[in-house]
């Protein structure tokens, strides 16, 4: 058996380093995307209540989404709020 038959520690260390860099880069991209989405929600706050209603939102929806933890994407939270409202409204339409 030769030394080349075994992976060396430097190869394993290099693989770990690449994995760590990949995870850090992925986390950084996700963080930057969440910050961009927060800025976009802030821009939605500039719309009037009528304009928000046209796209199916309420001002309170924006406030709730912005109060979500920094570790979550506020647009995902906003989407969940709108889906729940639509589901509730669909159920009310079927009853009446």
Residue spans of the domains in the chain: they are 7-95
Contact 38, 66 (CB under 8 A): yes
pLDDT digit string, tens, across residues 47-87: 999 999 998 899 999 999 889 888 888 888 898 988 888 88
Quick one: which of 38, 28, 42, 27 has its CA closest to 68?
38
Q: How many CA atoms lie within 13 A of 57 on its CB side?
A: 22
Contact 57, 82 (CB under 8 A): yes
Write down the pTM of the prediction: 0.65
Contact 34, 26 (CB under 8 A): no
């Amino acid at each position: 058996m030769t030394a080349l038959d075994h992976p060396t520690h430097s190869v394993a260390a290099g693989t770990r380093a690449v994995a760590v860099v990949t995870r850090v880069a992925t986390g950084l991209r996700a963080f930057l995307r969440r910050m961009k989405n927060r800025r976009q929600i802030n821009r939605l706050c500039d719309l009037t209540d009528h304009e928000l209603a046209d796209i199916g939102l309420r001002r309170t929806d924006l406030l709730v989404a912005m109060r979500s933890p920094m570790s979550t994407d506020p647009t995902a939270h906003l989407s969940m709020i709108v889906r729940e409202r639509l589901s509730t409204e669909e159920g009310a339409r079927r009853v009446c």
